[in-house]
Amino acid sequence: MNVVTVATDETTGFTPGSIPRIGRGFRLQWEPVQKAHVLLYPEGMVKLNRTASEILSRCDGVKPVAAIVAELEELFDQTGLDADVVAFLDLAWTQRWVECT
């Protein structure tokens, strides 16, 4: 699983108990023309790679980060994905793609 990490001064501090959801104004959907999941917002669109779409598709405002990580570890048949998932969620938070409840 490859997740892009970006250094930033602002982080959310997502914890295993944090419950992320897609940010207001954004919509995650499959785009046949792009052959990928995209994140739509009023000003445009972000084309997502598989890893990003798998993480964001689980950000439903119900599942905590620990459950998302467990599902992804099973899906990708890997362990120890906590740091990668949290790093992506921190990046997504800075872009306002996710909110944390």
Burial class (CB in 10 A: 0-12, 13-18, 19+), 100: middle
What mean pLDDT do residues 6-27 have? 79
pLDDT of residue 98: 97
**Residue 6 — very low, low, confident or very high, per pLDDT cuts 50/70/90?**
very low
| DSSP 8-state symbol, 56 | H
In tens, the pLDDT along 83-101 reads: 999 999 999 999 999 999 7
CATH number of 20-96: 1.10.10.1150
Write down the domain spans for the chain: 20-96
* 94 contacts: CB under 8 Å, gap ≥ 6: 6, 8, 10, 11
* 15 contacts: CB under 8 Å, gap ≥ 6: 65
Helix (H) or strand (E) segment spanning residue 36: strand 36-41
Does position 34 have pLDDT exceeding 70, yes or no?
yes
